[in-house]
């Protein structure tokens, strides 16, 4: 009886998941990460990995980044190497506004706000289709303004929040599909200030880290390639990939004119 109930629950969950594509995606991702976690077992420390290929190491790191990284107790999907580079860019630029597209639970948003706190200026505009899981610590931070909705649809609202002459930095970290990333790049590039950056995250998808499904036909990396062919206001600043290990290969776009 107990078993049949559990089976029924599982079947109900599965049928719900099949109707709801986002649940299917979450299920597949969870399976993928538990597979990576299993592979990592027994190879936890540096001394066990001196002969491990970078490609395998990146997979192992991805597992930890996505499943275990936290900022001030809040889950965040940032690679530590890249976040260090963000800190350096932000310190150099001293931006008035950081637009973070894709906030997830807000860990990265809070981390960016804390950098601005230390600099003593600037604000964050955080865009996501869902802010339900963002804790109050993030929502109430005085430098953070979260706006819920599709990033491209929100463009007019975001544009109206920026005063001419303000220094703007953009970090795109939303759905990572080719279509959405190229739309975000085309829609938002005019807001980036000269000398500042449009950082496109997770260009590592299928360019270092293999991803199944919809990403096989293109993701952020390919979107950047398309964008760079049609827009000569930006260069790819590869000096920002100084740790070699980066989740954003060819993803640091610097506006030069
Ligand atoms: C990879 S997570 C963001 C991770 C976060 N920046 C961090 O480092 O912790 C991607 C987020 O993008 C959001 N998203 C997906 N498509 C979007 C869209 N079209 N517009 C705005 N946000 C979107 C998702 O809801 C999800 O929270």
Whether 22 has a pLDDT exceeding 70, the answer reads no
Q: pLDDT averaged over the chain?
A: 90
Task: Sketch the domain layout of the chain as residue ranges.
Answer: 2-69, 80-255
CATH classification for the domain delimited by 80-255, as one of 3.40.190.10, 3.40.50.720, 3.30.450.20, 3.40.50.150: 3.40.50.150
Of all protein residues, whose CA lies closest to atom 2 belonging to ligand 1? 104
Query: Of 71, 128, 150, 205, which is best to mutate to test ligand 1, by the most ligand atoms within 8 angstroms of its C-beta?
Result: 128
217 lines ligand 1 (CB under 6 A): no
Residue 193 · residue 255 · CB < 8 Å = yes
Say if residues 154 and 147 touch (Cβ distance below 8 Å).
yes
Q: What is the pLDDT of residues 165-185, one digit of tens each?
A: 999 999 999 999 999 999 999
pLDDT above 80 for 228: yes
Q: Is the CB of 108 under 6 A from ligand 1?
A: yes
Which tens digit of pLDDT belongs to each residue from 27-71? 666 776 676 666 666 667 899 889 999 999 998 898 888 878 999
CA dihedral 212, 126, 63, 201 (to 10 degrees): 60
CA–CA distances in Å: residue 86 to residues 100, 123, 158, 165, 191: 12, 15, 21, 22, 18
Q: List residues bridging with 148 in a β-sheet.
A: 128
Going by pLDDT thresholds of 50, 70 and 90, the confidence category of residue 130 is very high
Distance 175 CA to ligand 1 centre (A): 6
Residue 176 confidence (pLDDT): 94
Q: In Å, how far are 81, 207, 254 from 236, measured between CA atoms?
A: 18, 16, 6
Helix axes 21-40, 2-19, angle to 10 degrees: 110
How high is the pLDDT of residue 20?
Answer: 58
């Amino acid at each position: 009886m107990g078993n049949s109930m559990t089976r029924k629950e599982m079947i109900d969950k599965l049928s719900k998941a099949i109707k709801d594509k986002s649940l299917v995606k979450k299920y597949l991702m969870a399976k993928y990460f538990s597979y990576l976690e299993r592979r990592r077992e027994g190879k936890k420390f540096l001394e066990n990995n001196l002969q491990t290929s970078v490609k395998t190491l990146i997979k192992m790191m991805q597992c930890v980044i996505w499943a275990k990284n936290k900022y001030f107790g809040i889950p965040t999907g940032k690679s530590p190497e890249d976040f260090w580079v963000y800190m350096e860019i932000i310190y150099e630029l001293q931006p008035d506004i950081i637009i973070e597209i894709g906030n997830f639970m807000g860990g990265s948003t809070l981390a960016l706000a804390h950098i601005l706190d230390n600099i003593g200026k600037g604000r964050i505009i955080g865009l996501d289709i869902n802010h339900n899981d963002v804790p109050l610590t993030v929502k109430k931070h005085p430098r953070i303004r979260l706006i819920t909705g599709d990033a491209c649809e929100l463009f007019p609202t975001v544009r109206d929040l920026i005063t001419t002459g303000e220094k703007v930095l953009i970090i795109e970290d939303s759905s990572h599909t080719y279509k959405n990333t190229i739309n975000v790049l085309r829609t938002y590039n005019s807001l980036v200030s000269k000398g500042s950056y449009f950082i496109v995250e997770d260009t590592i998808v299928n360019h270092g880290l293999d991803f199944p499904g919809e990403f096989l036909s293109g993701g952020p990396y390919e979107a950047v390639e398309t964008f760079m062919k049609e827009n000569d206001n930006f260069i790819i600043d590869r000096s920002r990939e100084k740790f070699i290990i980066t989740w954003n290969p060819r993803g640091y776009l610097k506006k030069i004119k």
